Amino acid sequence: MNSGDIVWILGSTALVWLMTPGLALFYGGLANRKFASNTVFLSIIALGIVPIIWVICGYSLAFSGQGLFIGNFNNLLLHGLSYDHSTLNLHIPDAAYMLFQGMFAIITVAIITGSVVGRMNLKAMLLFIPMWLILVYTPLAHMVWGGGILQKMGALDFAGGDVVHISSGISGLTLAILVGRRQHFSTENDTPDNMSNVLIGASLLWFGWFGFNSGSAFAVNGTAILAFINTNIAAAAALTTWFIIDFIKTNKARISAALSGSLVGLVVITPAAGFVTPTSAILMGIIVTPIVYFLVDFLKTKFQYDDTLDAFGFHGIGGIVGGVLTALFATKDYHGVITTGSLKQLGIQLLAIVITVILAAGMTWLIGKFISLFIPLRIPASIERNGIDNELHGEYISIISSPQFNQHVRAKKNI
């Protein structure tokens, strides 16, 4: 064991945990004032449910055994898990590895909720979270990182392109289609109601992403440094590119647009962070931006699905582009297309993406249909019309949505 590596992975674990409150603020700031609190709550509840499921059986199913598609129950309730040595040929104990990987599961679930905020039945969501974690996330984590079929094939996913972003984006889209569109749905982007929360949330996400990607080296070494550099420079390149495109289109220098670009850059570099050079990371940030910027609105307009906060658009599309670009730009040691001239790695990446999409979409559909046999997936129309924050939560992230505040404003006007 290496004490420096242990300190680094525990610090990275804390950084990844911080990403979920960051996502809650980012989502909540972007959300309509009628469901901003609901948006934050659905991310926060993941902080409670997911770690419990992860300790009970999630980690064991993801990282125990030698199965091609899923693990076993050898580490049920962390039974037999070592706190002072590694069975994975790492310099950190298995327990530290378990902690770090568990934080990825939390943020993945939180991302999904952004597609259905404001209209999904809370009881249905509370059932969906553990079922999805067990039936979608753990098999994917095992196949990609736990010795399963995709890892054996040589699929490259440094920190969660397939496991986190594509799976959450595709699952969010599938769930959004099952739940249905919002009342008075429009494909026009909602104006953010709380720019302070958007800024704070995006900053926490960017900050936490350093642990997300750099921590995935599982050691204090050159790969960790490379991943740290690539994470920052890809986000910076995408932020700048997104701002330029949006400024040309709208003639407005929008904070929310620039920060959205940084998020896309963080997503695209995730599968490649330790496999590409900084120059390639810059190119990846530039390439992904116009694809996501224009494709998100085009698809929502053409197919009229309601991906409320663009979980599919940013994470699904961004993750798919990231997986493909990883194959193109990976260094020679990782058989990149440009460095070797061989298309083999591209084929492997595409197959991994297809498997991820099929598993995420198919299982999410089945889970949603199963839950709907017992509980409606959608809240009643009257609650949605009046605002789920008012009807269900009684708390308000945006002060301008508070009935008490509105009453105070009306009273002042009458003076």
pLDDT tens-digit map of 143-192: 999 999 999 999 999 999 999 999 999 999 999 999 999 987 765 546 67
Q: State the average pLDDT over residues 69-86.
A: 95
Q: Amino acid letter at 303?
A: F
Angle, vertex CA 379, rays to CA 194 and CA 164, nearest 5: 60
Cα within 13 Å of Cα(83), Cβ side: 2
Query: CA–CA separation, 268 vs 155, rounded Å?
Result: 16
Q: State the average pLDDT over residues 179-208.
A: 85
Indicate whether 1 pLDDT > 90. Answer: no
Mean pLDDT is lowest, of 11-15, 198-202, 259-263, 380-384, for: 380-384
**So what's the pLDDT on residue 27?**
96
Residue with tokens 């030698």: 66
106-155 residue pLDDT tens: 999 999 999 999 999 999 999 999 999 999 999 999 999 999 999 999 99
* Domain spans of the chain, in order of start: 3-394
Global pTM value:
0.94
352-392 residue pLDDT tens: 999 999 999 999 999 999 999 999 999 999 999 889 999 99
The CA dihedral of 321, 327, 331, 333, to the nearest 10 degrees, is: 140
The CATH superfamily assigned to 3-394 is Ammonium transporter AmtB like domains (1.10.3430.10)
| Residue bearing the bigger pLDDT, 264 or 32 | 264
B/e letters for 88-101, b = 16+ CB within 10 Å, e = fewer, are eebbbbbbbbbbbb
Q: How far is CA 48 from CA 144, 256, 380, in A?
A: 25, 29, 26
